[in-house]
């Protein structure tokens, strides 16, 4: 599956920067990417963080791993946690 990768950095309330990638099918509109990002942030208890094109930017298209593809099929998106995601 071809997947779009959105490189995402958000400022957490403790002033650290959370870094993660949102992985979606390559034809996904940005509004859906934002909604998926907010769903992920909510799952971390971070409901009020801003997620605009400043924080979340298209990076590239790649072939999704089988694990990410399963996540995309199940919920529409996958997440790769890269830093300060706890």
Domains of the chain, each with CATH number or no CATH: 2-83 (3.10.510.10)
Q: What is the token pair recorded at 33?
A: 């990417």
pLDDT digits (tens, 9 = 90+) for 3-25: 999 999 999 999 999 999 999 99
Distance between CA atoms of 57 and 54, rounded to whole angstroms? 7
The pair phi, psi for residue 50, each rounded to 5°, is: -75, 140
pLDDT at 48 (0 to 100): 87
Task: Please check the confidence at residue 73 and state whether its pLDDT lies above 90.
Answer: yes
What is this structure's pTM? 0.95
| Whether 78 contacts 62, CB under 8 Å | no
């Amino acid at each position: 599956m071809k997947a779009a990768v959105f490189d995402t950095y958000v400022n957490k309330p403790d002033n650290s920067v959370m870094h993660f990638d949102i992985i979606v099918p390559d034809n996904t509109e940005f509004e859906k990417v934002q909604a998926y990002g907010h769903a992920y942030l909510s799952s971390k208890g971070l409901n009020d963080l801003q997620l605009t094109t400043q924080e979340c930017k298209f990076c590239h298209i790649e072939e999704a791993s089988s694990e990410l593809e399963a996540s995309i099929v199940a919920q529409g998106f996958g997440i790769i946690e890269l830093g300060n995601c706890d």
